[in-house]
Amino acid sequence: MSYYDIMVAAVPTANRDAYLEHAAEMGAVFREYGADQLVDCWGDEVPGGEVTSFPMAVQCKDDETVAVGWIRWPSKQAHDTAWEKIMKDPRMAPDAGKMPFDGKRMIFGGFNLLR
């Protein structure tokens, strides 16, 4: 059954093109290690909330846009095997390239498909 990595980040709106470039570079790495789908979404109608919301979750500032992305893996086992290799890949080293957003405010996790 498919397995998903999902992330949400606050990206400076002015960095949209840099974000797309970064996503393409990272996507190539994930595909190389077996990801079978990558999706990147740029916020359009992402309301703030009183208790919780996407913008609140990533401490989105006025000059930022919420971005959401996911990676589909063929299985949890494929995901786990890939991530062991991905974390050793020099392209993923912290000094390999600067993320066009504050990674400390990114939220992410792994999810099993329900249906």
The one-letter code for the residue type at 47 is P
Under the banding of pLDDT at 50, 70 and 90, the label for residue 92 is confident
pLDDT digits (tens, 9 = 90+) for 4-27: 999 999 999 999 999 999 999 999
Q: What's this model's pTM, rounded to 2 decimal places? A: 0.92
Comparing 98 with 70, the larger pLDDT belongs to 70
The pLDDT value recorded for residue 107 is: 97
Sequential DSSP letters for 58-73? TT--TTEEEEEEEEEE
Domain 3-112 has CATH 3.20.20.70: no
Report how far residue 105's alpha carbon sits from residue 64's, in angstroms, rounded to the nearest whole number: 12
- Number of other CB atoms surrounding residue 16 within 10 Å: 14
Burial class (CB in 10 A: 0-12, 13-18, 19+), 24: exposed
pLDDT of 34 over the 90 cut: yes
